[in-house]
């Protein structure tokens, strides 16, 4: 599939569909809603500033430890943040390996 824009891909039937959404986009929206910078959040979470900055930039995934800290700070759960990461990772893997795996692995 050819990439059409930042998050929009051409679908096989000629339509368009949105690409995987990195958890950093959700985190960026939370930061914006609260008027916080990535650096300020890092201080509150007691993690290196580059960790949050890289997550927001989509260059780093959310680890279990970071998910625990984010869940505690935002009042949701670590599972929320881990589920975002897992969904993103699976969508990326499906795009990269899905067709090859379908051809190589016979279903039981």
| Residue pair 105/11 in contact by the 8 Å Cβ criterion | no
The pTM of the full predicted model, rounded to 2 decimals, is: 0.81
| Residue pair 19/94 in contact by the 8 Å Cβ criterion | no
Average confidence (pLDDT) per 10 residues, the chain, 108 residues: 46 69 98 98 98 98 99 98 98 96 95
CA distances to 16, 31, 60, 65, 85 from 24, rounded to whole Å, are 23, 10, 8, 15, 9
| Residue pair 87/76 in contact by the 8 Å Cβ criterion | no
Domain boundaries, the chain: 22-104
The region that residue 79 occupies, defined by phi over 0 for left and psi between -120 and 50 for alpha, beta otherwise, is alpha
pLDDT digits (tens, 9 = 90+) for 10-31: 555 666 667 899 999 999 999 9
Domain 22-104, what architecture?
A: Orthogonal Bundle (1.10)
């Amino acid at each position: 599939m050819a990439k059409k824009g930042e998050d929009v891909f051409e679908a096989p039937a000629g339509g368009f569909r949105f690409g995987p959404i990195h958890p950093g986009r959700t985190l960026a929206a939370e930061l914006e809603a609260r008027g916080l910078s990535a650096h300020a959040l890092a201080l509150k979470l007691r993690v290196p500033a580059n960790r949050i900055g890289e997550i927001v930039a989509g260059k780093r995934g959310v680890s279990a430890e970071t998910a625990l800290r984010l869940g505690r700070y935002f009042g949701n759960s670590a599972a929320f943040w881990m589920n975002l990461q897992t969904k993103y990772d699976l969508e990326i893997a499906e795009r990269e390996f899905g067709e090859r795996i379908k051809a190589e692995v016979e279903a039981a």
